[in-house]
Amino acid sequence: MARQADSNSLRLSGGVFTLTVLRLQSLDPDPLEQQWQEQSAALGILQGAPVVIDLADCKEQEISQELPKIIQILRQRGCTPVGIRNATPAQQAAADQLGLAQLRGMESSPQSMKKNHQRPELTPASPPLEHPLRSGQRHYARGQDLICLATVNAGAEVLADGHIHIYGPLRGRALAGVQGDETAQIFCQRLEAELIAIAGIYQTLDPQHPLWGRAARIFLDGEQMAIMPLEK
């Protein structure tokens, strides 16, 4: 019996997924194979993971012959390539043949990404938050600094593209420079945070921290998070 087309057989919905990006330095399969064997323990986390192949460093190379081999190696190692990005048109054509999706976003090289990650154009800060931010509440100052006059309680979260100033105890989470601005800083009158982060580099805190309960300034010193007392 022919099945009637069921109007409920398909539902579209959206989702945001985190994928591992494998950035190939070369399209030669042999070094890949070799490196995989040498670092099998570290790369073991890719077992069963969907990965995206980033070809930003292989712009000059012809891929049509090599890509199928690379895909095969990845599959043998247990990961599932689902797409490519930063591909040249020729590379894209090869990927199409293999049924890999083209993924967009972050197409630039890391050097120019750094440039994008400089302090974005910030608009003047909104009026300060006057009331305590409570457990379960979250406040994001998009394209702005964030100023909070009251407490950020445990379980609450403040985020800003720029700096975060908290003129009360910080007991929850504070994430500054969430778009990647590494010059963003966090200032608080009393550091009792659950988590602090700047440009994606984060740290959890506990009461054993030497600056616990004190006024503090948090910033990035290279890749390291620095926590300094505010008072001299």
d(C-alpha 151, C-alpha 134), whole Å = 8
Q: Is residue 85 within 8 Å of 106, Cβ to Cβ?
A: yes
Q: How many residues bind another protein (CB under 8 A)?
A: 13
Q: Nearer to another protein by C-beta: 66 or 157?
A: 157
Residue 57 CA from chain centroid, whole number:
20
Q: Nearer to another protein by C-beta: 117 or 214?
A: 214
Q: Smallest gap, in angstroms, from Cβ of residue 169 to another protein?
A: 8
153 binds another protein (CB under 8 A): yes
150 binds another protein (CB under 8 A): yes
Q: Smallest gap, in angstroms, from Cβ of residue 170 to another protein?
A: 13
151 binds another protein (CB under 8 A): yes
Q: Which contiguous run of DSSP H or E holds residue 67?
A: helix 66-76
Q: Smallest gap, in angstroms, from Cβ of residue 205 to another protein?
A: 17
Positions 100 through 139 that interact with another protein (CB under 8 A): 131-137
For the beta sheet containing 216-221, the strands, ordered from the edge strand earlier in sequence to the opposite edge, are 146-148, 164-170, 186-191, 216-221, 224-229
All residues at 6 or more sequence positions from 94 whose CB lies less than 8 Å from its CB, including other chains: 63, 64, 67
Question: Which residue in 21, 46, 106, 154 binds another protein (CB under 8 A)?
Answer: 154
Question: Which residue in 103, 156, 193, 220 binds another protein (CB under 8 A)?
Answer: 156
Phi, psi of 147, deg, nearest 5: -120, 130
Q: Is residue 206 within 8 Å of 224, Cβ to Cβ?
A: no
d(C-alpha 206, C-alpha 227), whole Å = 13
Q: Smallest gap, in angstroms, from Cβ of residue 180 to another protein?
A: 29
Q: Which residues lie near another protein (CB under 8 A)?
A: 131-137, 150-151, 153-156
